[in-house]
Structure 1
Amino acid sequence: MRVVIVTESFPPDINGVAHCALQTARHLAARGHDPLVVAPATSAGPGADAGAPCPVVRVPSLPLPGYPQVRVALPSRRVAQTVAAHRADIVHLASPFVLGVRGMAAAARHGVPAVAVYQTDLAGYARTYMGAGEGTAWRRIRGVHTAADRTLAPSTAALRDLEAHGVPRVRLWPRGVDTVRFRPERRDALLRAELAPRGELLVGYVGRLAPEKHVELLARVQRLPGVRLVVVGDGPSETSLRGTLPDAVFLGRRTGDELARIFASLDVFAHTGPYETFCQTVQEAMASGVPVIAPAAGGPLDLVAHGTTGLLVPPGDQDTVHDAVRALAADPGLRAAYGAAGRAAVADRTWEAVGDQLVEHYTEVLRARTAVAA
């Protein structure tokens, strides 16, 4: 199967869209398919794609004002040319918004079926950054996803949200997790001694440091006796968060085995963002055997079994986040039970299993197109 993956982000970018697109390309190549990626150009230079599992076509782009880590593709004929030159059987649109709209147009022009993967709560971001614009964001989302042969939602909450806003042909497709990289055995006594020299309980947040993540909700957590807050990631809110969380340890952006070592060395993982369509870091914490605290909204509702693998708290409620951390800090047996249950819950959610589900979605879409043509 010849697949063109049109993605709004791709490594070396570090975010959920880029990671999922990379894992998709890897799986397709490993299964003997022929993927090709179209993505915005990166500031990392021409060697950025040396380790990619398939060819990558870069489209000219500009950094997003105020958030240079995010790059926005500029108008280009390369998308349509690539779909035609690759003789694509299917076009995969990863979180389509700017480049994905052109990918959808190219698929339609060449009569190629398209599968659109919903990954970003753009309406929530519009509310956070502009205080308005949710309706405009949903019109954009509805337009591109309605044109696709199938939309794949990462969680039950996202699926219901899409259907409620009039998006047709929505199916569930979750995300995988690398259970070999992220595992409890990565726990590192030396790292723990470095981060908590007085034997403090380590509570960690991993993710972008941006307004929509609401990391400031951990302000009371950092003041709990015997607790050390660890923040991993970077982004436009880092400077303000360093002022809000003066007692926290900021480790910056970490990846790969180093990130896995940090995850496994935590005692509690706390996520605060209410706009997660899935929330990969929650799943990585669970794979690492770490109990999770997360908002009872969006993707975490599918991932966290309240009272079994962790605790769900009302979104945006600083006091309940504090109380949840305090409860887990006081009960090492409960932390161990939640951590073990979390690891067991994600044991079968490998990228291989999820990738095979994606190929089945492709196959069903192609069969439907063939039936209509017949």
Structure 2
Amino acid sequence: MLQGLMNLLSLCFKPFGHDGENHETNGILGGGSRGGSREGKDGLFWFRDIGKYGSGDFSMTVVQANQVLEDQSQIESGQFGTFVGIYDGHGGPEAARYVCDHLFKHFRAITAESQGVVTAETIERAFRQTEEGFTALVSELWSTQPNMATVGTCCLVGVIYQQTLFIANLGDSRAVLGKKVGNTGGIAAMQLSTEHNANIEAIRHELKELHPNDPQIVVLKHGVWKVKGIIQVSRSIGDVYMKHERYNKEPINRKFRLPEPMNMPILSANPTIISLTFHPNDSFLIFASDGLWEHLSNEKAVDIVHSHPRAGSAKRLVEAALQEAARKREMRYSDLQKIDKKVRRHFHDDITVIVLFFNHDLISRGAVQDPPVSNRSALEHR
């Protein structure tokens, strides 16, 4: 039966190119020096195989599944250090696009106020200003585009400042460090980000403590825990219908409206932030939206990066996730590749991956990227 479905899909959807075919090098992943690296498009993939940033090399890939790409991402590197962002939108692309346009700008403005010094408070303020700006936009558009109140995005940020790494997170994207194990040649996976998803018992406990008088603060629906039975993540930018009562009413869709008054915000935009000092055994860091982690374990992802050349690392991770998604549906990867966006969402989510490789000589010398590097996933994906 499944093969019959795939035969039908093969007739309905145009096949896409495979590796090495139909590549375009028209700046799809934004600006920044290319340095001779391959950058372009391959079917539903957009990629930058390898590039340079202030502390080493990076690899970057996006694969689209939704009708309109809801993921956005960026890597910025210059005098201030390096800033990486993965923004996994939900309900539409608007919140992720807004964050990609504004979060780094706020971060740069705040660091300028403190003579370039970066702290956890710097990052927290940038998140707060971005949330406030998006909420103001929702207010401005309420009479004409009320559904902007139901759009949100997870937000994973990494900042390298001198010899310190900061990781800040809202939602369920993930940052995983590949760390060398002594002189054994082995590699260990270390998750650095804290996730905010109601399927995690600790998050359900946190929500129940914050809302002790609400027995429906988390609800199990079809085997999935959701906040108020509506959304899985407990922290995000946007989703103002779950933060401000004045936006939880008509004319937003009934499925988002709560049956009882909201006496306090249900979702939070306060990120979990950690910092650590680089160690010479820190080899690389994988940033990815949850679409990758639905199909790959931390250990598997780290092993894939460690066991192959740096160039194409991000795309290799995404391909491994898609192969696993196909296996789970008892189909061939080549058949999955033939399925177009929108229908593809039934098989996997939009996936964004950025891999940073660390050059500890550059880090210890406090080297800065000059000229600056700026790479963003394209906004025009449709």
Common fold: TM-score over 0.5:
no
Which is strand-richer, 1 or 2? 2
Which structure has the higher relative contact order (CA within 8 Å, separation 6+)?
A: 2
Q: TM-score w.r.t. structure 2 length?
A: 0.27
Which is helix-richer, 1 or 2? 1
